Amino acid sequence: MSKPLILVLGDQLSHDLPSLQALPDGAVIALCEVADEGRYVPHHPQKIAMMLAAMRHFADELRARGLRVHYSALDAPDNTQSLVSEAERLARHYGCDEIRVVRPGEWRLWEAFKAREAGPLPWRLLEDSRFYTTPEAFAAWMRGRKQPRLEHFYRTQRRASGLLMEADTPLGGKWNYDADNRHPLADAPPLPAPLRHAPDAITRDVLELVAEHFGEHFGRLEDFDWPVTRAQARAELADFLETRLAHFGRYQDAISDEAPRLFHSRLAAALNLGLLSPRETCEAAEREYLEGRAPLNSVEGFIRQILGWREYVRGLYWTRMPDYKRGNHLEASRGLPSCYWSGDTELRCLRRAIEMTRDHAYAHHIQRLMVTGNFALLCGVAPQALCDWYLAVYADACEWVELPNTLGMVLHADGGLMGSKPYCASGKYIDRMSDHCRHCRYDPKRVTGTHACPLNALYWHFLMRHRDRLASNPRMRLIYAGLERMGEAKREAIRQQAEAFLEGLACETAPRWAGGDQAHQHALGYRYRESSP
């Protein structure tokens, strides 16, 4: 009889995981805390703590079911601190004849596991059934499509799932209600109080462990309140449905100087860990509309993020890797501005986004796309540098979802595979959608001069730099027509303003975070991966 070691990864904390079904009597389930996974980028301490606390709670749930579980704690003296070597050490210890593992969330692990398939202790890789689609199904949908747009995929997903559908027709008569979902912060109603999750004894132990081993990483552990059990994740879902969903759609593009979440859900981390399933989450949101508690534009917008966007970026990741990661269509080469680690910038919108990220391991998707992302795009930051930062600092960042969003959506580095045009914007956009500008020393209405918002000159400078690539794009012709109408003297003044700002921008080719110099960071095992040409 087979005696497998079932390796459960930190983002696979679901009792319906394929590898946990129909277990042989001798199976040993292994969950492993290893330093390598906390340091290949300098992950935010809250992100590490969330995953380790969730893993420890899940291990206890498995034991309560009567299953045999080995848990390798980070500080255990015999821990090899690498997933592959630790799993193989445990398999040999328990006399297992194979290692079973479900598809991981990163290509580097997938390749590492596949390299062991034919070894003396074979690894058996299983497909992850917790998503609406598989990489194989997405590849079939992609076949023959030159431009695999989200909207086309999303409609296929709606028909297949039946969500918000009446026969073959979308409820309300439209597939997409984005036009109703772009209201600024100024007319938003009072914000609901956030749900808090008080750390229990297990989580408190993890917080102490993370502070000891990863305390030098960018980010604070104070006020940690991420859901780390399925019960907490379900409470977070219920709270979102009751207090935020009704206004989510209308204000999902708004940005606040003080409130990180607004009407957003903060459910992505629980979904990515496996504490919630996409199906139960989408079906719960659909019920809110069907039972009259939330408007269609909010429910459709929320479901589109999970059923459409989340599945779409995962499909692109697995069908385009590893070449996708080397994309750099705009030939960006600048190092990451040092303010991404320090928050030291006079641009109020950028500083607040970085401070919120530092304090909460969270910023909502418009802050990521139109503040930290837009600034990096306009400054020509190398894709690998920004991708590493996003992967490190956000609690919900798994590479399968982070990389396409950052490289493709934010930086347009995939040449338009994901988006038909770059998501570039001037300071006027930030002024319209947020309350940042009233607190900023810069004026979003000025393009040049001492008090002009740097985003304005950077925006036009970006368009000038990439005229050959972008001017023929049908969605950008009006923008370039506006650039052409400017006088040569004005364009030259903008160019000089932007280049003076860029020349004074402190950038780094290696990451920096509080608590250690470069030599210390290298001793911890972190290696910056150079950006691809």
Residue 527 has pLDDT above 70, yes or no: no
Least confident of 180-189, 344-353, 468-477: 180-189
pLDDT over 50 (residue 519): no
pLDDT tens digits along 241-291: 999 999 999 999 999 999 999 999 999 999 999 999 999 999 999 999 999
Average pLDDT value for the chain: 93
Cα 181 to its chain centre, rounded Å, is 21
Say if residue 526's pLDDT is above 60. no
Predicted local confidence at residue 530, as pLDDT: 36
- pLDDT band, residue 514 (cuts 50/70/90): very low
* pLDDT-above-70 percentage for the chain: 95
pLDDT at 302 over 50: yes
DSSP label at 411?
T
Helix/strand/coil for 110: helix
Task: Give the residue among 228, 225, 230, 224 at the shortest CA–CA distance from 281.
Answer: 230
Q: What is the pLDDT of residue 510?
A: 55
pLDDT in tens, 461-497: 999 999 999 999 999 999 999 999 999 999 999 999 9
Q: How confident is the model at residue 511 (pLDDT cuts 50, 70, 90)?
A: low
Query: Computed from CA positions of residues 132, 390, 375, 268, in that sequence, does the dihedral angle turn out positive or negative?
Result: positive
Q: Residue 250: left (phi > 0), alpha (psi -120 to 50), or beta?
A: alpha
Structural tokens at position 194 = 């956030």
Model pLDDT, residue 533:
26
Q: Are 264 and 364 in contact (CB under 8 A)?
A: yes
Tell me, what's the pLDDT at 369? Answer: 96
What is the residue type of 521? Q
- The residues that bridge with 170 in the sheet, in sequence order, are 165
pLDDT digits (tens, 9 = 90+) for 39-81: 999 999 999 999 999 999 999 999 999 999 999 999 999 999 9
Instruction: Provide the 8-state DSSP code for 178.
Output: G
Residue 15's CB is within 10 A of a number of other CB atoms, namely 12
Stretch 130-135: mean pLDDT: 96
**Three-state SS letters, 333-377:** CECEECHHHHCCCCCHHHHHHHHHHHHHCCCCHHHHHHHHHHHHH
pLDDT of 126 above 70: yes
Say if CB 281 and CB 330 are below 8 A apart.
Answer: no
pTM listed for this prediction: 0.94
Q: Please compute the mean of the pLDDT values over residues 136-147 and round it to a whole number.
A: 92
Res. 350: pLDDT tops 50 = yes
524 band by pLDDT with thresholds 50, 70 and 90: very low
Arithmetic mean of pLDDT, 187-214 = 95
